[in-house]
Structure 1
Amino acid sequence: MATFRRFRPDDVNKFSKCNLDPLTETYELSFYLQYHAKWPSLFQVCEDVNGNIVGYIMGKVEASPDAFKFAEHYLPWHAHITALTVAPEARRLGIGKILTEQLELVADANDSWFVDLFVRRSNERAITFYKNMGYSVFRVVKDYYGDHATDPTQSSEDAFDMRKPMKRDQKLQHIRSDGEQHFVNPEDVW
């Protein structure tokens, strides 16, 4: 049996089951605490019967700065999934789906136009997961994952910027069906 609840600061000491996955990015403590302080309802965890964190989602609601309101890549009020991960032994139990749906409910409650996220182009399992949940590729961010910065033998990897419209976007103006044909550079993404 699993329990879903809001993140608490001491949960970072229980993330190891989730963060050992090579596709899960591990952040500094201050980053987790910033999300906890600013967007507590968008930072949820799943705990197993032994108190281990077996999944979590970190999100935020934001818009591009007003100074860029008329810029080509301006982002209106939306929710963003910063991280979603489930421990290997807890996968295929619906935990990721439940965490994502909880974030989407908060996004709708905050009158967001859409929920977006970035995923490595090579992460086919995650892309399939999100597509099954109604997300689609909005654009490709060239060289978003710059692994070469810390390891020169590694190359950069593109990201899919995936989106799912929320109730506010009744005309579906913030998604597109041909997103894999639209390319932007990382500096164009706020």
Structure 2
Amino acid sequence: MTPNTADRPLILVEDFEELARVAPETVRLELISGKIEVKPVPDGNHGQIFMWLLKRCMQQRPELSLFPEQGLKVEAYRKGRARPDGALALDEYFLGQGEWANPDGVLMTVEITSNDPDTDRRDRHEKRDGYAAAEIPVYLLVDREACKLVVYSEPDCGKYCKRVSWRFGDVVELPAPVGITLRTEKLKDYAD
């Protein structure tokens, strides 16, 4: 019988952190739902979407930074460790926190879907639930396959209470505490 990872992770957090620390630079590891996950290396369109979003955040909220690949402790969700594509927080929030930071000051996490078979389970379900359990106020999913943005907000009891989606090309208002408006017409050029 296979152990239930919901109750008992397959690896201890301390052992995972050591493994992630010594992994080659070409491999990015996460601990999601009690299992080790290898995060895909982003392609060019993925990187372009991230840069597009980074610029919008900087223009509208210069006191904030969109940190790429910052490791977060998503403790409430099965002692997880996640590396969102982006973590929006006050400038210098992560100073001195090391590889796996406390998510308390994170206003929004961002995931941009990849062209791999695990993106549905990982980005649309497990990581969303981990960020909600960590009470990160906003989770922005840029879904390249569906050509839409999905905004999750109002975390409560480990789930996001609000979910709104827009097509690429729509004007998207990210809710408080983010307060950024995205004019997404350009994302149509980056869809694949």
Instruction: Report the TM-score range of the alignment, normalised by the length of the smaller protein.
Output: 0.3 to 0.5
Higher-strand-fraction structure:
2
Q: Normalised by the size of structure 1, how large is the TM-score?
A: 0.36
Higher-helix-fraction structure:
1
Q: Which has the higher contact order (CA 8 A, sep 6+)?
A: 1
